């Protein structure tokens, strides 16, 4: 039996706690639902120095004025080359002991003509899905008979992405995604077989987060990646791979010693979207699309807005280019790579700390509830299922936590891509972000969350009997 909240919590109050997802939480509330970087870690001085160098150079010359001018839609050639070099070093580092990477002739290389600058991942997703729909409809004479384009979306998924596809004219269909290993490729194949039987020409796009999934924290295995490539070719499937968390792999963890290369390098039907949002700062508004499909990139460049205004991140790409290429303070790596290494270590420490807090709380013999989770190896998020209780982790419980205990989170149900919350399997799950708070605040937040669970359960004896 599922129990709803009683007492001071109302449906209106539950709705009231939902605000602008880009707005920072109030200082008195520890909000694990906030998927932002810690403001105290943002590299203000590094960005300021890079901006000055990009615009004025080392000798106050005028070479940097190109970043203040219009540019081609995909970005300036020097910026694309710098990004290609940066990604090549990120995915195929030369400082490893492997024979492949130690031999420049056999080393994989990201080519600049496969890249297209955007103002972020969401912008890249929107440009890609709208361009695919436009290209598909122009090649088919019976557009109405094909039906609306379809986007298959992982369930659960990044909670803001369904609106991008819906507003771009797509129907949505959820695909089971498991917390242990991400997208269920076998279910995906079953869905594709059913769709292609009825609609052989319909445009089908899969949106996936293959590495350090938001909200699950899982990553696709190599076998599942190969299966996904095969499904693309067999069922004429396009894939938009959201790879914004690639650079936040915890390299000091035994389970993840390398950063996954982009899915786009495996097939021309796969489009990777990335950004400097998580590895630098959200305000820089600079990202990229990567694909081997040069016709798609050309079509993206014909987007009306880009055709009119040119590159959407011209100035920011110049600033980031400087950080990708320039060394500061005698560091061995360029400024951005050095900062990324710092973030990887800092977030790994915070993730371990949060997991230890939840594990200790679960082992507390004075309580009957527990936290069930898989430890992530990168990214921002931990997916936690509350056990030993017979109430749902819903907006009523969330409002109770926020109003009475100054702690907040993202409910699992709000991350579902399914249309009916009554059918969601995530009723007792929550997404916790470990990036926004330091270890002392994480400790305080878990303590508040535990107190809230106990108080909420006590109201009507909601803790399940241990008998």
Q: What percent of the chain has pLDDT over 70?
A: 86
What is 89-103 written as a DSSP string? HHHS-TTS--HHHH-
What is 266-318 written as a DSSP string? G-TTEEEEEESTTTT-GGG--EEEE-S-HHHHHHHHT-HHHHHH--TTHHHHH
For range 60-89, the mean pLDDT:
91
Answer for the pair 349, 439: CB distance below 8 angstroms, yes or no.
yes
What is the separation, in whole angstroms, between the first and last Cα of the chain? 17
pLDDT of residue 254: 56
Rounded CA-CA distance 73/317 in Å is 12
Q: Give the tens place of pLDDT for each residue, 209-248.
A: 999 999 999 999 999 999 999 999 999 999 999 999 999 9
pLDDT of residue 60: 52
pLDDT of residue 258: 76
pLDDT level of residue 458 (50, 70, 90 thresholds): confident
The partner residues of 274 in beta bridges, in order of sequence, read: 288
Rounded CA-CA distance 463/467 in Å is 12
Q: What is the mean pLDDT of the chain?
A: 89
Which residues contact residue 115 at a Cβ distance below 8 angstroms, ignoring those fewer than 6 apart?
A: 74, 75, 80, 83, 84, 87, 288, 289, 290
- Residue 271's nearest CA partner among 241, 246, 301 is 241
pLDDT of residue 62: 55
Half-sphere exposure of 279 (CA within 13 A, CB side): 28
Rounded CA-CA distance 9/401 in Å is 10
For range 370-392, the mean pLDDT:
96
pTM of the model: 0.91
Least confident of 40-49, 286-295, 307-316, 414-423: 414-423
Structure tokens at 359: 């594990």
For range 157-176, the mean pLDDT:
97
Least confident of 71-85, 326-340, 391-405, 450-464: 450-464
pLDDT level of residue 93 (50, 70, 90 thresholds): confident
Q: What angle do CA 299, 303, 304 make, to 5 degrees?
A: 145
Omega cis (within 30) before 358: no
Yes or no: domain 47-325 corresponds to CATH 3.40.640.10: yes
**Higher local confidence (pLDDT), 329 or 430:** 430
pLDDT at 10 over 80: no
pLDDT of residue 7: 44
For range 290-318, the mean pLDDT:
97
Answer for the pair 393, 457: CB distance below 8 angstroms, yes or no.
no
CA dihedral 206→210→212→215, nearest 10 degrees, is 20
Rounded CA-CA distance 165/153 in Å is 10
Q: What angle do CA 421, 425, 426 make, to 5 degrees?
A: 80
Domain at 11-41+338-458: CATH code: 3.90.1150.10
The partner residues of 173 in beta bridges, in order of sequence, read: 152
* Segments of 295-419 assigned E as strands: 370-373, 381-387, 407-408, 410-411
Q: Where are the domains of the chain?
A: 11-41+338-458, 47-325
Tell me which residue has tokens 């950080």. Answer: 323
Burial class (CB in 10 A: 0-12, 13-18, 19+), 22: exposed
Q: What is the DSSP letter of 67?
A: G
């Amino acid at each position: 039996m599922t129990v709803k909240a009683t007492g001071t919590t109302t449906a209106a109050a539950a709705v009231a706690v939902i605000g602008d997802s880009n707005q920072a939480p109030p200082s008195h509330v520890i909000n694990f639902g906030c998927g932002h970087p810690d403001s105290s870690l943002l590299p203000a001085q590094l960005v300021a120095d890079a901006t000055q160098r990009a615009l004025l150079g080392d000798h106050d010359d005028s070479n940097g004025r190109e970043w203040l001018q219009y540019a081609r839609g995909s970005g300036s050639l020097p910026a694309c080359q710098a990004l290609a070099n940066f990604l090549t070093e990120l995915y195929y580092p030369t400082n490893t002991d492997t024979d492949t990477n130690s031999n420049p002739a056999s080393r994989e290389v990201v080519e600049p003509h496969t890249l297209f600058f955007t103002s972020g991942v969401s912008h890249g997703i929107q440009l890609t899905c709208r361009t695919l729909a436009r290209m598909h409809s122009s090649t088919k004479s019976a557009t109405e008979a094909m039906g609306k384009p379809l986007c298959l979306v992982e369930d659960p998924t990044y909670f803001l992405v369904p609106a991008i596809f819906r507003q771009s004219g797509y129907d949505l269909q959820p695909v089971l995604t498991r917390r242990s290993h991400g997208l269920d490729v076998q279910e995906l194949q079953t869905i594709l077989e059913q769709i292609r039987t009825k609609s052989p020409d319909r445009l089908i796009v899969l949106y996936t987060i293959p590495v350090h999934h938001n909200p699950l924290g899982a990553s696709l295995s190599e076998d599942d990646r190969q299966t996904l490539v095969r499904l693309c070719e067999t069922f004429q499937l396009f894939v938009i791979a959201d790879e914004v968390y690639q650079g936040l792999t915890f390299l000091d963890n035994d389970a993840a010693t390398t950063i996954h290369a982009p899915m786009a390098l495996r097939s021309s039907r796969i489009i990777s979207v990335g950004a400097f949002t998580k590895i630098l700062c959200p305000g820089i508004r600079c990202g990229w699309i990567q694909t081997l499909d040069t016709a798609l990139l050309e079509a993206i460049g014909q987007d009306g807005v880009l055709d009119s205004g040119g590159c959407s991140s011209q100035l920011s790409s110049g600033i980031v280019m400087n950080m990708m290429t320039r060394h500061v303070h005698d560091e061995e790596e360029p400024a951005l790579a050095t900062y990324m290494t710092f973030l990887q270590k800092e977030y790994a420490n915070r993730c371990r700390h949060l997991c230890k807090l939840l594990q200790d709380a679960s082992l507390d013999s004075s309580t009957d509830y527990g936290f069930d989770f898989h430890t992530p190896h990168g990214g921002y998020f931990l997916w936690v299922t509350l056990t030993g209780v017979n109430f749902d982790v819903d907006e009523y419980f969330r409002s109770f936590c926020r109003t009475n205990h100054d702690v907040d989170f993202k409910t699992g149900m709000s991350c579902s891509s399914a249309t009916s919350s009554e059918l969601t399997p995530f009723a007792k799950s929550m997404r916790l972000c470990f990036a926004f708070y330091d270890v002392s605040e994480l400790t305080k937040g878990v303590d508040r969350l535990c107190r809230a669970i106990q108080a909420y359960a006590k109201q009507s004896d909601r803790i399940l009997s241990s008998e």
